[in-house]
Amino acid sequence: MHKTQPHHQDFYSLCKSHMNKYVLAETSDGRQFDGIIVDVDAENVILAVPMASNDMSVYQDSQMANQRQWGWYGFYPPYGYYGYGFRPRFSRLVLPLAALTALSVLPWF
């Protein structure tokens, strides 16, 4: 148990020093995630991860569900509806600091 506290503190400091940078995070189960560190707290790091083109269908489905549930007010769809200039390019991913095993800064190109 004494090992987890320094591990937490090390990754907290590392993530804080790389705020707003594009990184590759590896978890203890071997999965890797690339994204931009947007926030860090005592327990978690939050990444903005790029959405793949197949993730767009999930976003579109959620927009259509909202439309069916709430309907449009007036003739035009709500502001920011997909197809009117807004398309999310990133989604948020929350990773526990305890699960991190590696963090590397990646180039932007």
98: DSSP letter: G
Q: Looking at the structure, tell me whether residues 27 and 9 fall in a common domain.
A: yes
Per-residue confidence (pLDDT) for residue 106, from 0 to 100: 92
Tracing tokens 């991860």 back to the chain, one arrives at 49
Name the pLDDT band for 15 (thresholds 50, 70, 90).
Answer: very high
pLDDT digit string (tens) for 38-74? 999 999 999 999 887 665 555 555 555 445 444 555 4
For residues 67 and 49, give the distance between their C-alpha atoms in angstroms, rounded to a whole number: 26
Report how many domains make up the chain: 2
Question: pTM of the predicted model, to two decimals?
Answer: 0.65
Q: Looking at the structure, tell me whether residues 82 and 41 fall in a common domain.
A: no
Q: Name which residue leads in pLDDT, 48 or 5.
A: 48
pLDDT of residue 92 exceeding 90, the answer is yes
Termini Cα distance of the chain: 40
> Any idea what the CATH number is for the domain that residue 11 is in?
2.30.30.100
Instruction: Give me Rg for the CA atoms of the chain.
Output: 18
Do the Cβ atoms of 51 and 91 come closer than 8 Å?
yes
Q: Looking at the structure, tell me whether residues 44 and 59 fall in a common domain.
A: no
- What domain range is 17 assigned to? 1-50+95-109
Q: Looking at the structure, tell me whether residues 18 and 37 fall in a common domain.
A: yes
86: DSSP letter: -
